[in-house]
Amino acid sequence: MRMQYAALKNKPRTLRSLTGFNPNEFEALLPNFGAAWDSFVKETFERADRKRAYGAGRIAHLKTIEDKLLFILFYYRQYPTQEAQGFCLGRRSLAPRSDAGSYRFFGMSQAQANEWIHRLSGLLKQALGYELQLPERRAANLERVLSACPSLEFLIDGTERPINRPKDKDDQKRYYRGKKKRHTVKNNVITERRSGKVLYLSGTYEGKRHDKKIADEKNTCFPPGSKLLQDTGFQGYRPTGARVIQPKKKPRGGELSADEKIVNRAISSLRVNVEHHIGGVKRCQILVQTFRNRMENFADEVMEVACGLHNFRVAQRG
């Protein structure tokens, strides 16, 4: 038996464990995911020069739009290998011939799973765009996006993800992060303190790039009257329009006073929210486990989609 939404929609705890979404959230995203799929079908399978009708050929593994959404959400949430995503739970070789399908996730080959993953990931991103839940990527638009937030209280931080060791020696040096003792990629995020939404996501950089250097590369402007809470890793970062609030750094060879420590703790108690926001994004195991896919720009795409999924959950549960 293959994994199907029809069998899971009445099991909210199981569905949430497998996908990160409860049935209400799943079905709220479904219409726009369906619209993205319909647009893809029209452009790809219903073009005038296509000879075979859409739906012809062998029976589809993912028959319904619900199963397609389940497939890609399961992949982001659990991040199995493509072989496991398509095929077995580990005992298929022990099953009787007539019962071989009982141990499948989605019942397809690794090559088919790979094709569906990349196809549906783009459509999931498109659906989250229809929902207006994707983070802003262009620094030039940041002030306009942040102006829509009533509190004007924001948090900035960097987040890293492990990747496989690159084969090229120069890339090995660029992506090696000595502090983490591994090869990583990195993004900066700006979140709204009260709602927890990720409002801005920087490009994806090699792990050894410093958080402040990434921030300095973009001439970002904040709405007048904004408050920006940041950690000492952004020492000296002063974007236009924002009043920066940052813990005081301990002087070299010296100590902080008792009052300075109290102020630092108060700032940290507010700034820690950004760690919770990033934790919400990293419910997707695809960001936590070592990233195995080497397709160009896919590491950046999955981070953007994961931020969109987090924002969508926040909006639904708010």
Torsion angle of C-alpha atoms 286, 287, 291, 295, degrees rounded to 10: 80
The one-letter amino acid at 318: G
- Return the sign of the alpha-carbon dihedral for residues 258, 259, 262, 263: negative
CA 22 from chain center: how many Å? 18
Mean pLDDT (10-residue bins), the chain, 318 residues = 86 95 96 95 76 65 92 96 71 44 70 92 97 95 93 95 93 91 96 95 94 90 94 92 92 90 93 94 96 92 98 93
Residue 84, number of CB atoms within 10 A of its CB: 16
Give the pLDDT score at 56. 61
Torsion angle of C-alpha atoms 34, 36, 37, 42, degrees rounded to 10: 120
Give the pLDDT score at 63. 86
What secondary structure does DSSP assign to 87-123, as a single string? SBSS-GGGS-GGGGGGGBSS---HHHHHHHHHHHHHH
Give the pLDDT score at 163. 95
Residue 79, Ramachandran bin (φ over 0: left; ψ between -120 and 50: alpha; else beta): left
Give the pLDDT score at 51. 64
Domain ranges in the chain are 5-130, 139-295
Cα–Cα dist 254/252, whole Å = 5
Q: What is the pTM of this model?
A: 0.89
Nearest partner of 209 among 169, 158, 162, judged by Cα: 158
- Return the sign of the alpha-carbon dihedral for residues 211, 214, 217, 221: negative
Give the pLDDT score at 125. 97
Give the pLDDT score at 1. 63
Do 206 and 198 contact (CB within 8 A), yes or no? no
